[in-house]
Amino acid sequence: MSDLKRPASFNPKKELYIPIEIKARELQSRILVGGVFALNGYRTYIASKSIIERAVKNKKDSSGTYLFKSGCAGNAFPKIRKNVELYCVLDEEIGVAILDKELEENIKCRANAIDAIDIWFSASMHITSAFKRVCPNHQSKVITTGSPKFDLWKKKFQCVYDRKSLMLKKTYGDFILFSSDFGFIDDKFAEKEIKKAKVLAFKNCSDSTSFIQRIKNAKKDFNLFCQDLSLYDKLPNRLPIIIRPHPSEPQHVWYQRLNNLHNIRVIYQGEISEWLHSCQALLHRGCTTAVQAALLGKPCFFWNPSSSHTAHEQQLLPYSLSVKVNSCSSLPDKNHIWTNEELPSLDIKDNERIYCPDQLLSSELIFNAIEAKDPRPSSKVLTIPLWLSLYARASQSLLMLIWAIPPLKKILSSHRKIRKLQDGIRMDEVADYLTTLFPGENILLIEIAPGVICIEKGPTARNN
């Protein structure tokens, strides 16, 4: 793999633009997508959402494919849509662990942009069916491909996490991982979202009453969980619990609530997969992480203090894959060894709530669907103007500085952008992942501006 500056001459290629909003959630799977497209002749650009939005809005032609993580890119959507040939959605906000009502509400909230979207990639047949119910006039736009992050759960890519998971085991020993999805743990943020829901009523496309109730329930459950952890912390012979906050959760709230506990730690760093490989078991409230943990053979525990989940909720994969516990004190102690007979099993074949193709990667299915649209090559190189390059440099340098100084990181990690992007989109990190994912392949990396990485296939060697 080569690390080059700008090529001496511009070679027209089809281009793919990939914005990263939440690094821990998206970067690894998007690098996999970028590598697949590069090996098939595309030029792929990966950068933070704010940088790549500005770069695409500054384009002088309308070629290329924009692969966004949700319905539409907010206020930037009209300009971005005008400057690309294809606008595609690989939705990270609609997971396989979502109730039907919430699923349809989420799709309704994106339906206002569906006319301008060319392809909507779905992670499961269940999501595809919901999309077709909500958007009957646009059924041809949704394609079931699974998700690139499901690709990374396969055995062929487990080597991606070996080094980091080994380091985590050496650092933290045996522990139980709690993957949080409360979301609304901060009073100010919760109040802001409730006010927004009341004013906008989800732009008349969903039930704001149920959304407001979910916010209140999440806050109530968060308080109950913190009380439960306080009791667990006093029990002897128990494994430590490491809390991994959701990207939307201000970490300082967790620190304030759990500051005096000795067997509980709050850590938000890296991608969650390396933590799943390192932990002894997963504790959760019904998130997609449980599906991944089950595929890894990790014991999963569903924290269910009220035992009030409906029959519909019990049909969700995370629930059926987990042992139910009504308090943390019900978790096994250090001496318990789980056998396969005690753990629920997961058979993803023909499961309508998750799609993991056997023969092809989801990333390859995504490529095939976009290539079938026959997008044209870009006639001009993606230009990063001086002002944007300076902005990118300042942003990247600041993120790396904050993440390199633990006290500063702890203080400032409650800022949304810092929490989402961590230490930024780094050239060395992208190169490391690509080398591991595509060993022996000739892939070029070009950092056209700080934190803006171009991935393309290297030149074929010529015989003299």
pLDDT-based confidence at residue 328 (cuts at 50, 70, 90): very high
pLDDT-based confidence at residue 348 (cuts at 50, 70, 90): low
Q: Does an H or E element contain 300, and which?
A: strand 300-303
pTM value > 0.75: yes
Mean pLDDT in the chain? 84
Residue 165 in 3-state DSSP?
A: helix
In a domain, 347, yes or no: no
In a domain, 260, yes or no: yes
CATH classification of the domain holding 65: 3.40.50
| pLDDT tens digits for range 350-378 | 577 788 877 889 999 999 999 999 999 98
pLDDT-based confidence at residue 395 (cuts at 50, 70, 90): confident
Residue 230 in 3-state DSSP?
A: helix
Q: Which residues of 268-303 are buried (b: 16+ CB within 10 A; e: fewer)?
A: bebbbbbbbbbbbbbbbbbbbbbbbbbbbebbbbbb
What is the end-to-end Cα distance of the chain in Å, rounded? 22
Co-location of 395 and 304 in the same domain: no
- Other beta carbons within 10 angstroms of residue 212's beta carbon come to 16
Co-location of 241 and 363 in the same domain: no
In a domain, 462, yes or no: no
Nearest to 303 by CA among 332, 288, 282: 282
Residue 410 has pLDDT above 70, yes or no: no
Nearest to 402 by CA among 387, 391, 417, 385: 417
Co-location of 94 and 187 in the same domain: no
In a domain, 348, yes or no: no
Co-location of 180 and 321 in the same domain: yes
Co-location of 332 and 432 in the same domain: no
In a domain, 446, yes or no: yes
Give the contacts of 461 (CB within 8 A, at least 6 positions apart). Answer: none
Query: Quick one: pLDDT at residue 231?
Result: 95
Co-location of 146 and 167 in the same domain: no
Residue 128 has pLDDT above 80, yes or no: yes
Nearest to 16 by CA among 339, 367, 422, 281: 367
Residue 86 in 3-state DSSP?
A: strand
152: left (phi over 0), alpha (psi -120 to 50) or beta: alpha
In a domain, 269, yes or no: yes
Contact yes or no for 127/149 (Cβ under 8 A): no
Number of structural domains found in the chain = 2
Co-location of 55 and 171 in the same domain: no
Give the contacts of 220 (CB within 8 A, at least 6 positions apart). Answer: none
- Of 313, 342, 371, the position where a domain reaches its end is 342
pLDDT-based confidence at residue 8 (cuts at 50, 70, 90): very low
Extract the tokens encoding 395: 């942003």
- Other beta carbons within 10 angstroms of residue 436's beta carbon come to 16
Co-location of 206 and 334 in the same domain: yes
Co-location of 318 and 175 in the same domain: yes
DSSP string, 394-447: HHHHHHHHHHHSHHHHHHHTTSHHHHHHTT---HHHHHHHHHHHSTT--EEEEE
Co-location of 134 and 282 in the same domain: no
In a domain, 463, yes or no: no
Nearest to 44 by CA among 54, 35, 56: 35
φ, ψ at 350 (rounded to 5°): 65, 20
User: ∠ CA(19), CA(287), CA(24), 5° rounding?
Assistant: 30
Give the separation between CA 67 and CA 60, rounded to whole angstroms: 19
- Of 342, 375, 397, the position where a domain reaches its end is 342
- Of 304, 319, 342, the position where a domain reaches its end is 342
Extract the tokens encoding 171: 């650092």
Co-location of 273 and 337 in the same domain: yes
Domain that holds residue 226: 162-342
In a domain, 386, yes or no: yes
Length of the chain: 464
Give the separation between CA 202 and CA 230, rounded to whole angstroms: 37
Query: Quick one: pLDDT at residue 347?
Result: 63
Co-location of 327 and 428 in the same domain: no
Torsion of CA 392, 394, 399, 400, to 10 degrees: 100
| More confident: 452 or 96 | 452
Q: Does an H or E element contain 410, and which?
A: helix 406-412
Nearest to 251 by CA among 224, 230, 225, 269: 269
